[in-house]
Amino acid sequence: MATPSFESSRARAMWRTCLASALRTALACTIVGVATLFGPQYIKKQVAFPAFSYVTVILVVTDATLGDTFRGCWLALYATIQGVCLAILSLWLIGPARLTAGTTAIAVALSAFVVVLPENTHLIAKRIALGQIVLVYVIAYINGGQTETIMHPVHVAASTGLGVVACVLALIFPYPCVACCEVKTLDFSCMVKQNCKLFAENASERFNLFVKAFTAEDNSCALAFISQAKSLVKTGSKLLQGIKTKQESMKWERFPFKFLRPYGENPGSRFEDVQTPLRGMEIALDNSPSFPVEILNSDQKSVLHMLGDHIPKQVNNISLESSATVPESNQENTQKFFQTLQPTKKDLPSLFFLFCLNLLLNKPITNSPSSTNPKQQNQQGLFQNYLSITKSNKRFMAAFKCSLSLGLAIYFGSIYSKDNGFWAGLPVAISLAGSREATFKVANVKAQGTVLGTIYGILGCFVFEKYVQIRFLSLLPWFIVSSFLRQSTMYGQAGGLSAIIGALLILGRKGFGLPSEFAIARITETFIGLSCSIIVEILLQPTRATTLAKLQLSKSFEILNESISSISFGSIGNLVESQNKLKSHIIEMGKFIAEAEAEPNFWFVPFHSVCYRKLMGSLTKMLEYLHFGSQAFMLLEQESGGSIDNFVHKLDGDIKLFKDFVGSSMKCFEEVSLVKSLEILDKEFEKRKLSVDVELGTSQSSSYCNIIRYASEEEIDENLRSYFEHSKEFVDQIVNGEELKGQVVLSLSALGFCMDGLVKETKEIEKAIKEVVQWENPSSHVNLNDISCKVRALANIIVAN
């Protein structure tokens, strides 16, 4: 089997990546250390804050390529304009001698608000600017009238500049670490090329395993191949994400390295066209009732294996050296393979597998934005306006929270210890988050990382007590350890960076007294800063992640209902637009679920993470079914031309039952998921019962209305039979060739498979929603239809009144 060798190569690549990142970081810090300890007196005088030079190194060079570092130079310059230049004007107006703990905190808070508020400023630039603001104002407060209004901020800027220069040198020597090519020295490989190679191996291995499972002669062999393929899925997703994240870096590398221009395009989007069909093939195999599949004869199996030899070559050709177009597949083999297919219900999973294989052989179709009608464009405009207002409010609140946290940290840190007050604000400044975080979890890992790094720094000072000038060399092992901490689930980026900075500020410092005393002071100040951040988050962000996850779940059901309503011939543009909205909401819901799992329960009902993960999994599958269904719609329109128009009303009629069942269920789930307490709902319902009875035209509480359009298995099977009868009629009337018939059969079968999959996942969601509602209301009987009916009836009465 090739799987163990691939996993071992993946493990070696991870080791090389972490080790290379640690060595580059160590080299940059060594450059800073040599310059500040052994450099000319002029440099020592200008770089008055070497600790911040180290911080700049960590912010810019961590897991960076040369392109990232070039971008970091520009961001540092932009941050200096925001942080230092404006601070010079402020110090000149206020006067350092008149600064107090209160005025310093206010000045820092106002400056931080100005820095964080703009939307398009990069997070690294904001962090550097905030760190500079803390140093400029707090050091000016500490030194009072002795502070030079212009030269003091200039020294902060010079310290930042040294860190950036060290980053560039560390990424150039001993050889450039660029994202878009592979340079092997000491067995360290650069990122995108290596990840492309690993992803191509991963995708080829998965495809071969899927084909082996599809052609297996018994269930045990098929399940073994499927299990092996699934073990590679997570790794493939990580590799693809790693390729995509370096897209911006590759743009920055084009200008200074024009000889690398053939490698200048990031293949992430092309690899996405491979990843999605592979996921579809996995779904098809998961839904196959038994093996061997009946649809394949011996000739077709041989053709499938021939295609199986072609696909890995096609995937391997999608690399940085190749052009943006995928090589044409063997058309003759494809035609032979698809000629004898017929749409049947029992072969749905097998036909869907072949449909996804066809997507691999041919580039998926994308819907043109120009196909949207004026009404849809108007709706999109309204939606964009709503998003713009929402983003503006979020941006303002994020800036206000950051400025308040930083101001309070500086104020209380300075009250506790005037000389060390900036250590309370600096961790808050350089750990600014780009989005909402799990407050308690992040604060916890930051505190743990700071303590670990500080203790390591104290031990390093003890070991190198007699060699003070070279003790920063002891940081190399810690950089390696911290690289793995950043990759771990327990500490993540926040904890890993805190651990690095904690050790750096002990071993790379000068003029802060005894290491143990400085360590205790810094840990205390860090605790003050983190406490201020937590308090501000609780006060200004009182909505728990659990509540936000519920709201996002309800919104996802609403958008899914819109998507289901858009399923019909002639309205593909609406379906694609709804898919994009649904995808963004599901991603957002996943973030809230992760945060809710990490937040403490206090006196609230514990978060039912298992059930929410099930719901998210089902919603993700439904999104995938919608995607493949839209591909089938577009392929049908492309392949059949106008010949499908005579059958549109028949096929749409067959699809309507699926739409009614899934759509009505989504509407019910949308309403039920927002109910906080069934007891309160029942009391409110009893209070307004007379009005409700009049509204609904009945007095029987058990049958107020029927929200969910329940469909039995027999009804669904009968509808599928009707759909395939009409599909067969449509296929039989095609006279343009067997190849076209085969393509149309695949598209019609894929559409039927997706409709059936949507129904199955709707039933799974219903079970999970019942479980969630029962979890939150353990003493109540749960009937989703009755709950939804009561919610709707009460809403109608409130609106009427």
Separation CA 82–CA 132 (nearest Å)? 9
- Count of other CB atoms within 10 angstroms of residue 89: 11
Q: How far apart are CA 166 and CA 501, in angstroms?
A: 16
Distance CA 504, CA 460 (A): 11
- Burial letters for 176-203: b for 16+ Cβ neighbours within 10 Å, e otherwise? bbbbbbbeeeeebbbbbbbbbbbbbbbb
Please give the pLDDT value at position 771. Answer: 92
Position 401: which residue type?
A: K
pLDDT in tens, 170-182: 888 877 766 555 3
| pLDDT for res 9 | 62
The pLDDT-based confidence of 394 (bands split at 50, 70, 90) is: confident
Long-range (24+ apart) CB contacts under 8 A made by 145-148 are: 145/96, 145/97, 146/96, 147/91, 147/96
**202 CB-near residues (< 8 Å, 6+ apart):** 6, 232, 235, 236, 239
pLDDT, residue 134, reads 93
| Token pair belonging to 251 | 């743009």
Comparing CA positions, the residue from 64, 67, 125 lying closest to residue 252 is: 67
**pLDDT (0 to 100) of residue 505:** 74
Lowest mean pLDDT among 399-413, 466-480, 762-776: 466-480
Identify whether the C-beta of residue 348 lies closer than 8 Å to the C-beta of residue 752: yes
Give CA separation, 294 vs 232, 298, 451, 672, 729, in Å. Answer: 27, 11, 62, 43, 23
Q: How confident is the model at residue 795 (pLDDT cuts 50, 70, 90)?
A: confident
Residue 182: what pLDDT? 39
Alpha-carbon span 58 to 69, nearest angstrom:
11
Q: What is the rounded distance in angstroms from the CA atom of residue 67 to the CA atom of residue 677?
A: 53
Sign of CA dihedral 222, 224, 226, 229: negative
Whether 252 contacts 232, CB under 8 Å: no
Q: Which residue has the higher pLDDT, 665 or 312?
A: 665
DSSP summary character for residue 81: I
Amino acid at 468: V
**Alpha-carbon distances of 64 from 158, 246, 444, 504, rounded to whole Å:** 22, 9, 26, 19
pLDDT-based confidence at residue 81 (cuts at 50, 70, 90): very high
* Distance, CA of 202 to CA of 206 (rounded, Å): 6
Q: Specify the residue for token string 């899934």.
A: 662
3-state class of 2 per DSSP?
coil
Residue with tokens 């860090």: 526
- Please, how many CA atoms are within 13 Å of residue 579, restricted to the half-sphere of its CB? 21
pLDDT confidence band for 339 (50 / 70 / 90): low
Q: What band does 530 get if pLDDT is binned at 50, 70 and 90?
A: confident
List of residues 6+ apart from 310 with CB closer than 8 A: 329, 330, 333
pLDDT at res. 100: 92
Structure confidence by residue, pLDDT tens digits, 140-163: 999 888 888 899 999 999 999 999
The answer, yes or no, to whether residue 662 has pLDDT greater than 90, is no
Residue 488, pLDDT > 90, answer no
**CA pair distance 522, 772, nearest whole angstrom:** 45
Q: How confident is the model at residue 510 (pLDDT cuts 50, 70, 90)?
A: low
Within 8 A by CB and 6+ apart from 397, the residues are 540, 541
Whether 250 has a pLDDT exceeding 80, the answer reads no
Tokens describing residue 702 = 């058990």
Residue 6: pLDDT band with limits 50, 70, 90: low
Alpha-carbon distance 236 to 413, whole Å? 46
3-state secondary structure of 338: helix
In whole angstroms, what is the distance from residue 425 CA to residue 415 CA? 13
Burial of 603 (0-12, 13-18, 19+ CB in 10 A): exposed
Assess contact for 569 and 651: CB atoms under 8 A: yes
Task: Extract the tokens encoding 214.
Answer: 């599809």
Per-residue pLDDT for 19 more than 50?
A: yes
- Cβ(101)–Cβ(108) below 8 Å: no
- Tell me how far apart the alpha carbons of residues 705 and 580 are, in angstroms, rounded to a whole number: 33
Average confidence (pLDDT) over 474-484: 81
Cβ within 8 Å of residue 6, ≥6 positions away: 198, 201, 202, 205, 232
Query: Is the predicted pLDDT of residue 389 greater than 60, yes or no?
Result: no
Q: Could you give the angle at the alpha carbon of 71 between the alpha carbons of 67 and 72, nearest 5°? A: 110
Cβ 292 vs Cβ 216: under 8 Å = yes
215 token code pair: 């052609």
Q: Indicate if the pLDDT at residue 634 is higher than 70.
A: yes
Token pair for residue 134? 């803390």
pLDDT surpasses 60 at 514: yes
pLDDT at 474 exceeding the cut of 90 = no
**Cα dihedral 444, 118, 242, 560 sign:** positive
Mean pLDDT along residues 729-749: 76
Average pLDDT for residues 609-635, to the nearest whole number?
91
Give the pTM. Answer: 0.80
**Can you give the three-state secondary structure of 548-609, one letter per residue?**
HHHHHHHHHHHHHHHHHHCCCCCCHHHHHHHHHHHHHHHHHHHHHHHHHHHCCCCCCCCCCH
| Contact predicate 718/313, CB 8 Å | no
**Alpha carbons 141 and 101: distance in angstroms, whole number:** 7
Task: Over range 230-250, report the average pLDDT.
Answer: 80
DSSP-derived letter for residue 119 is S
- At 554 the pLDDT is 92
Reduced to 3 states (helix: H, G, I; strand: E, B; else coil), residue 185 is: strand
Contact 383, 395 (CB under 8 A): no
Poorest-pLDDT segment among 107-116, 259-268, 499-508: 259-268
Cα dihedral 252, 255, 260, 261 sign: positive
DSSP state letter for 146: G
Cα–Cα distance for residue pair 240/228, rounded to 1 Å: 19
